[in-house]
Structure 1
Amino acid sequence: MLSVLHYSKSWRWLLPSKPPHSRPYHDYVRFSTPGGVGRIPLHSPNIVGVASSRGNRSHQADYHALAALCLDVEGLRLSIRKTLNFDWVPENSKDRVARQVVFVGLYDGHGGSTVSQFLRQELHGLFESVNKSHIPELFLWIKHQGGYFKRFTGGVLAPWIHHAEDLPPLDLEARATQAFFEVDKLLSIESQAKVCGATASVAILHSIDNPARPFFSSRKLALTVAHCGDARVLLCSTDGGFVYPMTEDHHPDTPVEATRLRRMGSALITDSFGDSRWMGALANTRAIGDLRYKPYGVTPEPEVRTKLLEGKDWAYIVMVSDGVSSILSDDEIVDLAREGPTPKAAADRILAFSQELGSEDNATVVVVPLAGWGEVRGPDKTLALREFRRQQSVGNERQRRIQISQTCPQASG
């Protein structure tokens, strides 16, 4: 039997004490059967595919997490009504399967791996356990960060700042926002978190079938993405294999971030590679950690988007860190996954091609199959382009070796 995930011992001192039996999140998915309840392990390569590499870096700062959470049914119902205009009423509101969501997190660390490792170990537990009664205290801590946050009015948490106990449960957007801010608060006593941080992109999959089905066979699946940084979460349709992005990069020169940060004054610097850096240091203006930059507008507030996935209209979700997306286009990423016989094989194909084209950064790919897995119709739109890029990459590598041998003949020997 698969064991319940427990808080990491190395971080346990940062978190409220809870007995093991009160942590109901698991690394398996429950589903109803005529004879009872079955279990499917999330870490099976046939269920969720993961491929990761540290590239030519000295350490790995990319991490991921998979977990099945049990959330408040009223909060789930309110989320679906608010974002999808859909009235979901489970057959049994106390049924753990109906309240179950699958949590898929991708974390890309920078300046070190302290924050990304913490997210891998703890964010799913915090996402499940955040309490609306803690929002007033959290709000005071956020305001105390000063600078940019002096004007912070609470965002989506605003309704719960006063008289939190009298309000409805947290919907998924508020739950994600509280969890992301809570991580910063917990890390505020960790010196490394002042100088390093991580992007965080989380996909929440909730079957709204009656009875609930596993995410890979759901006829109606609510997908909620909470995103902070520049990882990518991409949907692939079965009709034509078209890509539907669920995220946008939070770089300082993108319109939404440039508008948000304009009142902080000009602190946007272009480095020697032509990349924009906020405060001359950060590629991402939304991140967890990077605490010394928080007064200057770096925020952990996630951008939250929700989509109702109908039946077999969607084949899979692909999540990639920027070690992949900086090399491959969204279309190339989803097309590469089409030929994988399993989610793991699909993830391996994407990672291998990005490395073939020269990716040297930490890189992670997560492939999540949906009801339309293996049923993508239409041509592979980027096949010719990928072959051209492959040949070009081989030619560039051959030219590089010739130049090295001419400059330093002994190296060719």
Structure 2
Amino acid sequence: MAHRYLNFSRTPVIVRRYHDYIRVASQGGLMRVPLSSPKVVGVVNSRGNRSHQEDFYGYATLSLNPEELRLSVKKAHGIDWDYDAVGEVMSRQVLHGGSAVSQYLRQELHGLFESVDKSVIADLFAWIKEIGGYFKRFKGGALAPWIEGKSDEEMTLEARATLAFFEVDRNLSADSVAQTCGATASVAILHSLDAPSTPFFSAKTLALTVAHCGDTRVLLCNTEGGKVFPMTENHHADARVESIRLRRMMGSSLITDSYGESRWMGALANTRCLGDLRYKRFGVTPEPEVRTKLLNGEDWAFMVLVSDGISSMLSDAEIVDLARGAPDPKTAAERILAFSEELGGDDNATTIVVPLAGWGKVTGPDSTKDLREYRRNQAVGSERQRRM
């Protein structure tokens, strides 16, 4: 994005139930564990040398409708989760976290994600159709069952994420700055299916839902050999998912700039984003790509979210290898950022490391160790030559 700040002067009234701690069952009742602890979620953030841009991130424990959560895991994984066995408070608890490039999203997305309601879908869809162009043929995606306002079924997490992302665009449409400013956003929802309920970092069975719009990488690290499993694909115009979507609906408006980078309409690196409203009728959409995965917690060591300031410098395998073996998630995140900067990365960068039940149990060799050492030596040599 050319610019990464979005301003919004008419923030909607949102009932906020989310909080910055996770409830954990103990013999004495429920205790609160702060998400800001470096052992619970590890985060590092660097603004780099590009003063006009900045990454933002956020994480919180949301309170969602347990029936909606049940329908989501039933549809995605065929599991009929019994939330009555968990209890009223714990059945609503999910971890919501992610990376974005907008201060507005950091402040508002948690509350918006919690509060959006299916009753507004019909009006929202009418607004979407008014955009024209690409959206003349848009059928509603995950929102389709509620467009006529007749379905009593609860939304799934995919529908909730889609509704929340489109609502961001509708809210921003009142701001002229949002016509030419855009933000990427990727969120991960971790929902423990254990009964009695357990927190995400020790859950034996965990439902992961990733709603993704842009080029943040969301990666899982398996305990068996430290294998990496990506949950996102970059939404660039020449990427597989996006090229199929855009050619089917819009033909091709892909232009390569003087640096050899592909730009949609000659301007945008990402073809899914929030904001950049002037490009929406040309196929740029806030509709998130939603992927789900059922996790046996002990098979997975951690999840990593990184912004493009990291992923442009490091491969997926290098990212997870740098995190494995770290004493805590905060240190793991610091290692990833530090190595990116050693290689010359100067873009704004964010790394979030979320431990899972297999934390500290990765087996097998560090497969990228020799490559990283070679790249480090190359970077040092290049820096010496530059100073001569």
Q: Match of 2:50?
A: 57
Q: Match of 2:4?
A: none
Query: Which of 9, 23, 32 is matched with 1:30 structurally?
Result: 23
| Alpha-carbon distance in 2 for matches of 1:133, 1:93 | 28
Q: Match of 2:286?
A: 300
1:38-187 aligned at under 5 Å gives the runs 38-92=31-85, 95-107=88-100, 109=101, 116-164=102-150, 166-187=151-172
| Alpha-carbon distance in 2 for matches of 1:378, 1:94 | 40
In the superposition, relative to structure 1, how do residues 308 and 54 fare at CA in structure 2: closer, same or farther (>3 Å)? same
| Alpha-carbon distance in 1 for matches of 2:86, 2:67 | 8
Deviation, structure 1 residue 339: 3.0
Question: Which runs of at least 4 in structure 1 moved beyond 6 Å after TM superposition?
Answer: none
Q: Match of 1:15?
A: 12
1:13-412 aligned at under 5 Å gives the runs 13-16=10-13, 22-92=15-85, 95-107=88-100, 109=101, 116-164=102-150, 166-262=151-247, 263-402=249-388
| Kept in 2: contact 1:80–1:87 (CA 8 A) | yes
| Alpha-carbon distance in 2 for matches of 1:94, 1:187 | 38
SS at match of 2:32: strand
SS at match of 1:97: helix
SS at match of 1:217: coil
| Kept in 2: contact 1:323–1:363 (CA 8 A) | yes
Q: Percent identity?
A: 64
In the superposition, relative to structure 1, how do residues 290 and 12 fare at CA in structure 2: closer, same or farther (>3 Å)? closer
Moved more, 208-217 or 87-96: 87-96
Specify the code of the residue in structure 2 equivalent to 1:82. K
Deviation, structure 1 residue 364: 0.4
Deviation, structure 1 residue 90: 2.1
| Alpha-carbon distance in 2 for matches of 1:211, 1:95 | 12
SS at match of 1:14: coil
| Alpha-carbon distance in 1 for matches of 2:37, 2:17 | 20
Deviation, structure 1 residue 340: 1.8
| Kept in 2: contact 1:29–1:214 (CA 8 A) | yes
| Alpha-carbon distance in 2 for matches of 1:318, 1:205 | 13
| Alpha-carbon distance in 1 for matches of 2:189, 2:372 | 31
| Alpha-carbon distance in 1 for matches of 2:9, 2:237 | 34
Specify the code of the residue in structure 2 equivalent to 1:231. T
In the superposition, relative to structure 1, how do residues 321 and 307 fare at CA in structure 2: closer, same or farther (>3 Å)? same
Name the structure, 1 or 2, with higher relative contact order (CA <8 Å, separation 6+).
2
Specify the code of the residue in structure 2 equivalent to 1:258. S
| Kept in 1: contact 2:9–2:175 (CA 8 A) | no
| Kept in 2: contact 1:93–1:99 (CA 8 A) | no
Deviation, structure 1 residue 60: 4.3
| Kept in 1: contact 2:85–2:195 (CA 8 A) | no
| Alpha-carbon distance in 1 for matches of 2:252, 2:67 | 44
Specify the code of the residue in structure 1 equivalent to 2:26. T
Moved more, 294-303 or 190-199: 190-199
| Alpha-carbon distance in 1 for matches of 2:206, 2:143 | 26
| Alpha-carbon distance in 1 for matches of 2:51, 2:288 | 29
Q: Structure 1 length as normaliser, TM-score?
A: 0.90
In the superposition, relative to structure 1, how do residues 12 and 215 fare at CA in structure 2: closer, same or farther (>3 Å)? farther
Gaps of at least 5 residues in structure 1 are 1-9, 110-115, 403-413
| Alpha-carbon distance in 2 for matches of 1:301, 1:61 | 23
Q: Match of 1:409?
A: none
| Alpha-carbon distance in 2 for matches of 1:285, 1:337 | 30
Q: Structure 2 length as normaliser, TM-score?
A: 0.96
| Alpha-carbon distance in 2 for matches of 1:97, 1:127 | 18
| Kept in 2: contact 1:240–1:376 (CA 8 A) | yes
| Alpha-carbon distance in 1 for matches of 2:96, 2:207 | 12
Specify the code of the residue in structure 2 equivalent to 1:186. N
| Kept in 2: contact 1:43–1:66 (CA 8 A) | no
| Alpha-carbon distance in 1 for matches of 2:144, 2:8 | 29
| Alpha-carbon distance in 1 for matches of 2:190, 2:296 | 13
In the superposition, relative to structure 1, how do residues 367 and 326 fare at CA in structure 2: closer, same or farther (>3 Å)? same
Q: Match of 1:406?
A: none
| Alpha-carbon distance in 2 for matches of 1:265, 1:305 | 26
Deviation, structure 1 residue 93: 6.5
| Alpha-carbon distance in 2 for matches of 1:230, 1:13 | 28
In the superposition, relative to structure 1, how do residues 178 and 85 fare at CA in structure 2: closer, same or farther (>3 Å)? same
| Alpha-carbon distance in 1 for matches of 2:153, 2:382 | 59
